[in-house]
Structure formats: C-alpha cells, structure tokens
Structure 1
Amino acid sequence: MALNLMSFVLKDVPSQEIEKIIVSDRFAQFKMKIPVVLIGGPVVAYTEELNRILDADIIVPEYSDVGNAVGAVVGKGIKRVEILIKSAYTKDKKRLVLLFSPQGRETFGSYPEALEYAESLGRRLVMEYMTEAGLDKGRVQIEMSKKDIALSEAGTIPVESKLIFVGIGTPKV
C-alpha cells in the first residue's frame, strides 16, 4: 500500500527505487505534507505498517469499512495504455516504422502515419476498456503524453516515441 501511495505522489521516481527505500534497513521514512485517509474493509490491518514507513497524519475514519461499498458504487476506473513507435531499417536499408501496442506489432511506411494510428489506437483501447467496465463514456477523460528520443535537433523524426494514454472515468449510476 505504501509503495502504491508513494509511486502515485512521486510520479517521476521509478517504483523500483521507492521500493528499495521502503524495504531497506535504513532509518528513513517518507514524509507526507498531506493527511492520508484510509477507507475500505481491511485498512485497519495496514495502519501500523504505514506508520513505520510514512511520517504522515494517517486517518482511519470510524466507518472506514463502508468505503468498500461506496467505492464500488462511485469509484473511478483507471486504464493506462503504452504504445511504442520505433524507427527501423530492413536488410536492404529501407526505412520502416514499427509500432508496438497491447495488440501486437505493426509496420508502417512513415512516422507520421504510425503516430496518427497510435494516437487513435491508444484512445480507442482506453475507451473500450472503460465501456466494458461499465463506465459512462461521457465521463471518461483521456490524457496522452509523448516522450521522444531523437538523435539530432528538434523538428526531426524521432528514433523512438513512447505514447502513454491514461483514462479516468466514473461508473454509470
């Protein structure tokens, strides 16, 4: 639970590094500037462990176990999809663009073509997941981030692009 919480708060720190700190024998803790409110049936069992790892105001409300039922009704759904676009060359030195997604590998003739397809595919995969999970299509927000690796100045075609799509939605009530 502590690893998930700290990974959420420290978005730019790899979870493996956070885990090293959590499981180490060092005399260190993470300090939270905001209170941590625990809800759900089993949270009382985690309180002592969290207090060892986090220097935080950890709050367990009197009726925290009701959170399971409330969460099932009004909780948010989250889906994350990663797509990788990579430039490659054939044996006869012809350039091609590879796209890796949860659906597998696909080949394109140009980077712009692969990028356009990736943007559409990522959004579609997130939305399909959300609707299958019973979430309201009109209440799903999808954000996309893109990280490029290029060998030269800006404006050139990247050697590799990683697209991350994160969708957040609420259930139909």
Structure 2
Amino acid sequence: MTTPTEIEPDTKDWTWVLERPCDECGFDPRAVDVADLGRLILANAEGWQPVLASAQAAQRPTPTTWSPTEYAAHVRDVHRMFFGRVNLMLAEDDPVFANWDQDETALAERYDLQVPAEVAAGLSIAAGEVAAAYDAVLDDAWSRRGTRSNGSEFTVETIGIYHLHDVVHHLWDVRWVAGAQADGGMAG
C-alpha cells in the first residue's frame, strides 16, 4: 500500500463565515435559523448519496485534491467531532475542545482507501446523530459556550452554524461529480 499524495493542509481560520456569506460556496450564516440545523444537516447528508454512488467517487480530480469519498469521509468525521463538542458544551460550563487535526486524521484513517458505499452509510449515521443533538437543544441552551484549542469561542448556536457551513462547503467542493447538488444541501 502506498501513502496517498499529500494534500496541502487547510490552515485558514474559517470562523469569519459566522459573520458574512462565503464567497466560494454561497453559504450565508444570516439565513440559518438554528431550529432548522438538524433538517439542514440531514439534507446535506442526502446530497452526498448520489456523489458517493458515482463512478468517479473514489477518483481524485488532481493528485493533491481529495476525491469525493475522501471529502465525504472527512464530513462523516466532522459530524462525529461536532456531535462530541455540542454534547460537551451542553454538559459542561465553557469547555475547551481537544485539538483535532483533520489532515492527520485523513492520513491515519486512510480516507483514500475507504469504500464509497461504506462512507455513505457512516456519513448518514453520523449526520443523523448530530442532527438529533441539535434538534434536542433547549431554547435557553443555544447560548452555552465552548472554546476551541486555538482560542476561538463559540456558542452552541454559532458552532452549529459553523458546522453547517463546513459540510455545505465540502459538498460544494465536489460539485464536479455527476449528480452533486449544486446548493450543497441548503435547499428548502
């Protein structure tokens, strides 16, 4: 087995997307009602299904760009990570989140070797779990706080919107695959 061609790590601080629309994918944080987070997460997960059923799902468009399967494995793990963070914020006062190196995880978990159908199933399960967590947040709990290891502060509301942008943006990233939803799962 060979190690995949290394992907250039994303070192951008994406927290700005909480304040203004994303110029790339079009996500607008002002358009998100937190009451819809669970539904929107599930809609996005559905948008991944035709992508992962595509014959091109495991193919990288370039040696240094993730395949749709690699992106989807990342999205699955993003759902798992945010599920843990949201539950931590609801259970503890102002927790500090453990660091998560997404690039290290991609290599350690060999995203490049994962089977599209298995990733699709895992992504759906993880999306369902985190969607249920958002759906269960009580009105007075949306303002509970947590801090990322780099010092970025979030509330349950802002981490949910930040999370939604992440998965919408990644579905937009693979829009070149036949059957990908152009809206990233944000449609009605």
Select the structure that is richer in strand.
1
TM-score by length of 2: 0.21
TM-score by length of 1: 0.22
Higher RCO structure (Cα 8 Å, ≥6 apart): 2
